[in-house]
Amino acid sequence: MAGPQRHNHAAVPAAAASSQTSAGRPETARHRQKLAPGASSALIVVDVQNSFLPGGSLAVKDGDEVVPVINRMAAHFENVVLTQDWHPAGHISFASSHPGKKPFDVVQLDYGMQVLWPDHCVQGTSGAALAEGLDVPHAQLVIRKGFHARIDSYSAFREADKKTRTGLASYFKERGIDTVFIAGLATDFCVAWTAIDACEAGFTAYVVEDACRGIDVDGSLGKAWTEMIGVGVRRIQTDDLAP
């Protein structure tokens, strides 16, 4: 073999491969550098709540599968924030609040189009509680959203009227956090809107795809990925994180 001897374990990233001589180094030996989140990164665990788990009123298919994945991943983060969808009874996003409408219908509200959902994550109910198996004792903040009766909020940063802010961007900025990793439920709604708003607020945003599950109504999952990538969200897998 030409050039200096080099071990080529798959698990070891070829750090700075591009700045080294490539003599004798096959293309396939280039590994992407693993990401090692530090003090300026936070994991945002989105809406891992009973309503979105199998048996819940707005169950996301295989939603429970994210729980062990998130538990493992969270252990590597110094900073973890959880979100909770937190609606008052009779919330405007509930189909039951719109006579003649049914879940997954779409209506026009003052702030735009709104998908109507089954009643879910009602404040103080077991549906709104975090998944029992979620084991993230070092989480530093639980941010609740969707508590205004007449405005929905998929995003952890900004409500659906695109004006009302939750305070999360300021919290991160005060704490010197400039990079967020996002996991949870559902990929195509609360995860996607959180990631897009994170980018728009100036954060570097990664969505950890295999630590999320989607609802996928009418192609919403593909559309969400297109929008996320379009604004600069980075799509990664848990395997892209340093072990």
Active-site annotation, residues: 47, 145, 190
Contacts of 186 (CB under 8 A, 6+ apart): 47, 52, 60, 63, 212, 213, 214, 215
The one among 42, 66, 122, 186 contacting ligand VGL by CB under 6 A: 186
Q: Are strands 179-185 and 141-145 parallel, antiparallel or unpaired?
A: unpaired
Q: Which does 168 bind (CB under 5 to 8 A by kind): ligand VGL, Zn ion, none?
A: none
Question: In angstroms, what is the minimal distance from the CB of 46 to ligand VGL?
Answer: 6
The one among 47, 64, 159, 197 contacting ligand VGL by CB under 6 A: 47
Binding to Zn ion in span 131-150, by CB under 5 A: 146
Number of residues that bind ligand VGL (CB under 6 A): 9
Question: In angstroms, what is the minimal distance from the CB of 193 to ligand VGL?
Answer: 8
Q: Which does 94 bind (CB under 5 to 8 A by kind): ligand VGL, Zn ion, none?
A: none
85 is a contact residue toward Zn ion (CB under 5 A): yes
197 is a contact residue toward ligand VGL (CB under 6 A): no
Phi, psi dihedrals of residue 81, rounded to the nearest 5°:
-125, 135
Q: Which does 177 bind (CB under 5 to 8 A by kind): Zn ion, ligand VGL, none?
A: none
Question: In angstroms, what is the minimal distance from the CB of 32 to ligand VGL?
Answer: 29
x/- binding map, residues 93-112, to ligand VGL, per CB under 6 A?
Answer: --------------------
Task: Please say whether the beta carbons of 130 and 123 come within 8 A.
Answer: no
d(CA 44, CA 74): 9
Question: In angstroms, what is the minimal distance from the CB of 192 to Zn ion?
Answer: 14
Residue 122 is encoded by which pair of tokens?
């009602």
Backbone dihedral region of 30: left (phi > 0), alpha (psi from -120 to 50 degrees) or beta? beta
- 3-state SS of 127-188 is HHCECCCCCCCCCCEEEEECCCCCCCCCCCCECCCCCCECCHHHHHHHCCCCEEEEEEECHH
- Binding residues for ligand VGL, per CB under 6 A? 47, 52, 85, 117, 154, 185-186, 189-190
